[in-house]
Each structure stands twice: as C-alpha cells, then as structure tokens.
A and B are shown apart, each in its own frame.
Chain A
C-alpha cells in the first residue's frame, strides 16, 4: 500500500482546517475578538498545531510500540485510554460538522427537503469514500485543494469596491488581551483536532517531518481564513459580522460580475462543500480506524457504513436550532477538545515511559555490560 507523502498530508490538513473555520467560526470569532480576530487566527494555529505536534512527536518515539499493537494488561489499558476518548471525540466532531452543514443547506438552499434526508445522503457518500480507503480521501483532497483555494482567494477580491477601507485602522488599534486570550483559547482546538494524524503515522511517509507539515498547513489555512475575516469586518463591521450566522456567504453574495452573473454564492458553496466533504470523510475514517483498533479487527472497511449510521443517529439526536448549537459550541466545546488533546499527550507520555521501563527490565546482563 502506497504511503501518504508529506505534501499530500499538508493539502489534506489545509482543507481540514479551512473548511469549518471559514464556514462556521468567523461570526462567533468576530463576537469575541472584534477587529483583533485576524491576529488571533495565526496565533491559534501555532498553538493548536503545536499541541497536535506534541502528540505526533510522542507517537514517533513510540514507533512500532504504538498502542494497540501488543503488550501487557497495563499497556492494553493505556491503549484503550488513548483510543476510546479519541473515538468519542472524533465521532462527536463528525456529527457536529454534519449537523452544522445540514442546517446550513436546509436554511439557505433546500428549505423544503427533510434534514434527515440531507444527512443520510451526505453520510452515504462519505461512507463510500471511507470504505475506499485513506488513499482515496487523500487523493480527493489533493484534487480539490487547488479548486477550493483558488476560488476562495479570488472571490473576495471581486467585492473590493464595496469594502469600507476606513475601518482598516481598527485592525491595528483594537487589541485587548482578555478578548484575544478568550479567542485564542476557543480557536486553537480547531487546529488542535488535527492530532488525528497520530493514528495515521504508520501510513505516512517520513513521519518525523509531520510536525513541520502540521504547522505549515495550519498557518496557511489560518491566513486564508484571516483574509475572509478581514473582508467581512471591512464590509459589515464588527457588530453585523458577529450577528450573521454565515458571514462569508454574505461576503460572496456581494460579488456581482456585470449583468450576467449576479449570484455567485451557489457556485462558491458547491466548491466549499468539497472541503467539508473531505473533512467529514477524514473524521469518519479516523472513527472507523479507532473502532477497528478497539475491537481488534484488521480490516476496517465493513465498519464504514456502521460508523456513518452511528453519526446519523447522533445528528438526529442533536435536533436543536443553529443558535443552540452555537451556544453549546462556544460555551464548552473548546474545553472538551483541549481535554482530549492534553489527555492524549499525557497517556502517550505514560505509555512511552512504561515501554522504556519494560525495555530496561527485560535487558539482559550482557546487554547491560555491552
């Protein structure tokens, strides 16, 4: 099986981080950090990807002793302690993103279509991609990357004439430590969730360079998001941006090219949907992978549809309004994500120290002498 190159991983991570940040986080971020939000994004990217990088660094040091492979009772317990919370986290995250996306589509473009049908169709497509394997998802991401980022970088430039540039002074004068701290704390886990790479290490080529890839991809996607953030702020101001559910879509709606192309938003949303698809597929793949590790099965393919079915159940159970969903997300998700990332680091460190102790205990006297 061909290994994933660092470039392919980087492209996947760019889409992974960008898709939800630009779609669902710009409005809440404007409410917290106001005009300093553009600076919060790269800082959060560095902190979040560094947290993910620590898990990858520890994972690299474990190499073939990766939890789940073999070991005594304690190691099995630690392996479960590592995989079960991560399984729950990614399962919930997949359901949350699916719910946000379904809400968005139902509100904006398909108001008469039942939400459960939208969820089922999207999950079905994602489950097929997951069943095809990681290579398919990564190649999809590489293919979509250029389309998504070219379109994303070009579209805001078409609304430049409507932008109020007088507001731009606020971008360098509105810096308040308390609001920036809160924004960084809540934004960094968006990048920290890329610690899923830890579970893909055996499939990655040159895994020791993974941290660099994580950092570059996170900063790159945060800068593109910051670009949209600045446009939203200059176009609508802080208050309106914070109160819009989907500010980026409103920015795109300002684009009018002559008389023949008045609404570009369906086209842009279709392109952006590709990045959401990649993120959902990646999350579903990780959930399926962790499920197979928990039940100790080698081939995870038969589990992809079952995983999708569980996500479908959680999405149905999250049958709340977008406002309630945003409230949950702002009030508790960041701490939940930090808890999972930090506990993963702790468990990996424990696992590594036990593995070292075991190796030392089984060392023969001749080896000690040599």
Chain B
C-alpha cells in the first residue's frame, strides 16, 4: 500500500513538473530532472524494502565520532 502511494505521488510530481518544464521552454532541464526523480524514487523504495540499510547518521557517526572524542 505504502509503495503504491509513493508511486502515485512520484507519478504526480513527474507529470506536473514535466509539464512545467515543457511549458516554460527549459527543455534541457528535463533530462537532469528525470534522472534525479528516478534516483529519488529508487532511494525511497530502497529505504522501505531494506529497513536495515544504514542511515546517513551511521556513516557520519562512524567517520566523525572518533575525531570528536579526540577533540573534546
């Protein structure tokens, strides 16, 4: 259900913004927009399917926590 809802939302964004880009004549923007939209969609799906995927917090903590412990 959640994934279906997400797909509908992304389809809505794609339709609305693609129409906006075409209407305002900024055609070269359509390609980067499509790429980023697809990446955002895949990312959202991945976070739902793989719940154990480490969040950005985990990466930041792994890199910077030892450094901060040394500084303060």
Contacts and interface: CB of A to CB of B under 8 A. Distances in A.
Interface in B1-46: 2, 9-10, 13, 16-17, 20-21, 24, 26, 28-29, 32-33, 36-37, 40-41, 43-44
13 contacts: A92-B56, A185-B71, A295-B36, A297-B28, A297-B32, A309-B10, A309-B44, A310-B40, A313-B47, A317-B47, A331-B61, A331-B65, A332-B60
Contacts of A297: 26, 28-29, 32-33
B26 A298 contact: yes
B27 to A, nearest CB: 11
A25 interface: no
A92 B60 CA distance: 10
Q: Which of A92, A303, A310, A332 has the most CB of B within 10 A?
A: A332
Interface of B: 2, 9-10, 13, 16-17, 20-21, 24, 26, 28-29, 32-33, 36-37, 40-41, 43-44, 47-48, 51, 53, 55-57, 60-61, 63-65, 67-69, 71-72
A320 B29 contact: no
Q: Which of B41, B56, B69 has the most CB of A within 10 A?
A: B56
Given A297-B28, A306-B37, 13 more contacts: A185-B72, A295-B36, A299-B26, A302-B17, A305-B17, A306-B36, A313-B43, A314-B47, A317-B53, A325-B57, A331-B69, A333-B60, A335-B65
A313 B43 CA distance: 7
A105 interface: no
A328 B61 contact: yes
Interface residues of A, number: 38
Complex A-B, nearest 9 residue pairs according to Cβ-Cβ distance, in ascending order = A295-B32, A302-B17, A332-B64, A335-B68, A335-B64, A332-B65, A313-B44, A182-B72, A317-B55
Given A92-B56, A320-B55, A332 B68 contact: yes
Label chain B's interface by main secondary structure. Answer: helix
A301 B20 contact: yes
B56 A317 contact: yes
A285 interface: no
A313 B40 contact: yes
Interface in A106-154: 116
B40 A309 contact: yes
Nearest to B36: A306
Contact of A328 (B2, B26, B28, B57): B57
Given A332-B61, A339-B64, A306 B55 contact: no
Contact of B55 (A309, A314, A336): A314
Interface in A277-292: 291
Contacts of B17: 302, 305-306
Contacts of B2: 116
A314 B20 CA distance: 27
Given A331-B61, A335-B64, A310 B72 contact: no
B29 A302 contact: yes
Contacts of A346: none
Interface in A305-338: 305-306, 309-310, 312-314, 316-320, 325, 328, 331-336
Interface in A257-302: 291, 295-299, 301-302
A309 B60 contact: no
A310 B64 contact: no
Contacts of A333: 60, 64
B12 to A, nearest CB: 9
A302 B71 contact: no
Contacts of A296: 32
A310 B10 CA distance: 11
Contacts of B69: 331
